[in-house]
Amino acid sequence: MLCNYCEKSVLGASPITVPGIGPAHDVCYRTRLTSERIFNGLNIASLSDVDLNELSDLVLMEKNSRAHSLHASNDEFEIELF
C-alpha cells in the first residue's frame, strides 16, 4: 500500500485510512490539513472574508472565556458583562 500524499509505502509507518482518499501516513495527512488550512473538516481557506472574521472573533472570544474562567475559577458568583 502506498501513501496517497507522498506515494511511499505506508507499511510499518503507522498508516491511517483517510475517508475518500485511502491509505496515508498520519504525518502526511496532518501536513496536508495544515497546508490546506482545514480544521475539523472546515476548510478555512474557502470561507468568505465575513465568515473568516466571524470565526476569528469566535476563537478570540472562546480563548478569552477560557482564560477568564481559569483565573475566576474560585469566584463562582462573578457575572461577566459585555
| Residues 74, 53: Cα–Cα separation, whole Å | 33
Give the x-and-dash track for 7-46 against Zn ion (CB under 5 A): ------------------x--x------------------
Least distance between Zn ion and beta carbon 36 (Å)? 15
Determine what percent of the chain falls in helix, strand and coil, rounding each to the nearest 5.
45, 15, 40
* Total of chain residues touching Zn ion, rule CB under 5 A: 5
Stretch that binds Zn ion, among 6-14, 51-59, 65-73, 74-82 (CB under 5 A): 6-14
Stretch that binds Zn ion, among 2-10, 29-37, 56-64, 65-73 (CB under 5 A): 2-10
| Residues 53, 9: Cα–Cα separation, whole Å | 41
8 A C-beta contact, residue 31 and residue 24: no
Residues within the interface to Zn ion (CB under 5 A): 3, 5-6, 25, 28
